[in-house]
Amino acid sequence: MFISSTKTTASLLCALLSLSLGFSKAASAEYSFNGFANLGVTYSDSEQLAYRSSLLNNGREDLSLIPDTLVGLQSNYRFNDKFDAVGQIILQDRDNTSLTNFVELAFVRFQANRNWAFKIGRFSTNSYLFTDYRYVGHLLNRVRPPLEMYSAAGSLGNMDGLHASYTMDVDWGAIKFSGAYGQSSFNDTLNGGEVTVDYTELSSLNIEFQSTEWRFHMAYLTAVMDNFDSPDLDGIRNLDQLVPAIFVPFALELKNNLIPDGKRITYVSVGGQYSFDSFDLIAEYSDYEGEWALAASAKSGYVSLAYPIKRFTPFITAAFYDRQMQPEIIDYANAQAVLPDFAFQQLVAISAGANEAIRGGSIDQNSISVGIKWDFSDAWAVKAQVDHFDIGEFGSGFFSVQEGLLTPAEKLSYNVFSLNFTTTF
């Protein structure tokens, strides 16, 4: 824990140092200061759900200027031909306002030679095609990357550690091989209390094929979760010692599903983008394996097609997120089969809170989005987008549930209307 705290602190200091150097030396050739901004208005039409663009953000109901609005600030500092540093912060509507949730990049890079480069600090996991610039709305046709793949990217979108890359020259472009090792952390808020978990022994491997008209990307991430902390955790850790013997097996099952310490997660993703002057085709697929009930195994993906017409780019996207585990904290069917009825009812009551937490985080949905981007100037663009979500039973985990309500049990449809202004500077 001390080592991970030291790494995080060092990364944050690097970011702040780099940013401060950028502010003070913005005009120098060795320093540069840049940024990007999205100003968005969204309207969501559910009486049960509140829209958010990331699992780390607050849910907002009805009409709101907050969910898609953000500012990104970046400073680059070039020490010499071999060393440079990058710091980037993202100011967005985070549920948990820990500083670490706002620092996206904070690293020093060593360019050893033409092919090899090394980084230390905080950098992108590059888990998907757009992970490393998913916040820069101006560079995307859509208002935001598909939630089905990118809402959860904030949890593992970056990491603290060491990174190495080798870029190979090929006739049609380049192939970049990357590997990294380190750790990341998830910091969120639940029921007024902080929820944290560390992703330790985090390893990532990436291969990216780049040509002028297309790029193809593959990634593999694996980590071991540890140091899970949440409100009422002590009660959960000791639950098997507090309940009558008849409930002990189920208490252990609940504890095993809710506390992820020591459990491994794995991501595998493939994606490609093919761009011509006449159209832009993007497709990605991800397979996530995890034994933690609050972040259960799932498969997700999308296909997106855009057709630029001068400065207008209409687009359409179809996406899916299929959970691979049912949202239950324990196997209630099995419990009902082995317990007397009164005991089963007691078990249901004891586990209700934990079960609602699992259901609240469970995700199962498909979506279709249509929209248009207008690059009305070189520095600004405006986008309009409509997202239609078909959500499965207890599958609304991408969104918040409005206060006082339980996670919707039934299937439901949910629409979000977005208008977004974007710029870079």
Partner 1 sequence: MAAKAYMTDKSDQLVVVVHGTSSTEALSKKELIDIYMGRFKNFPNGSTATPIDYFKGSNQRKAFYQLLVGKSERKIDAYWSRLLFSGRATRPNKATSVAEIQQELQQNPSAIAYINAANVTEEMKIVYQFD
When binding is defined by CB under 8 A, the residue of 10, 16, 17, 32 that contacts partner 1 is 32
**Contact set for partner 1, span 160-199 (CB under 8 A):** 167, 169, 171, 173-174
- Residue 371: CB minimum distance to partner 1, A: 18
d(CA 104, CA 107): 10
- Residue 221: CB minimum distance to partner 1, A: 17
**Contact set for partner 1, span 211-240 (CB under 8 A):** 212
Q: 244: Cβ–Cβ under 8 A, 6 or more apart, which residues?
A: none
If binding is defined by CB under 8 A, does position 36 make contact with partner 1? yes
| CB-based contact 127:25 (threshold 8 Å) | no
If binding is defined by CB under 8 A, does position 273 make contact with partner 1? no
| Helix pair angle (352-361, 248-258), 10° resolution | 30
Q: Encoding tokens for residue 61? A: 């109901």
- Residue 336: CB minimum distance to partner 1, A: 51
**Contact set for partner 1, span 1-20 (CB under 8 A):** none
Residue for token digits 């089969």? 337
If binding is defined by CB under 8 A, does position 241 make contact with partner 1? no
Q: Render the burial of 367-383: b for 16+ CB within 10 Å, e for the rest.
A: bebebbbebeeeeebeb
53/257 with CB nearer partner 1: 53
Number of residues lying near partner 1 (CB under 8 A):
34
Q: Residue 89 class from Cβ within 10 Å (0-12 exposed, 13-18 middle, 19+ buried)?
A: buried
74/365 with CB nearer partner 1: 74
- Residue 212: CB minimum distance to partner 1, A: 5
- Residue 385: CB minimum distance to partner 1, A: 19
Q: Which region among 82-90, 289-297, 314-322, 409-417 touches partner 1 (by CB under 8 A)? A: 82-90
State the CB neighbour count (10 A cutoff) for residue 101: 20
β pairing state of 116-124 and 103-111: antiparallel
d(CA 219, CA 200): 18
**Number of C-alpha atoms within 13 angstroms, CB side, residue 254?**
26
If binding is defined by CB under 8 A, does position 34 make contact with partner 1? yes
Contact residues toward partner 1 (CB under 8 A) are: 29, 32, 34, 36, 72, 74, 76, 78, 81, 84, 86, 88, 105, 107, 111, 113-114, 123-124, 132-133, 136, 138-139, 167, 169, 171, 173-174, 210, 212, 375, 378, 424
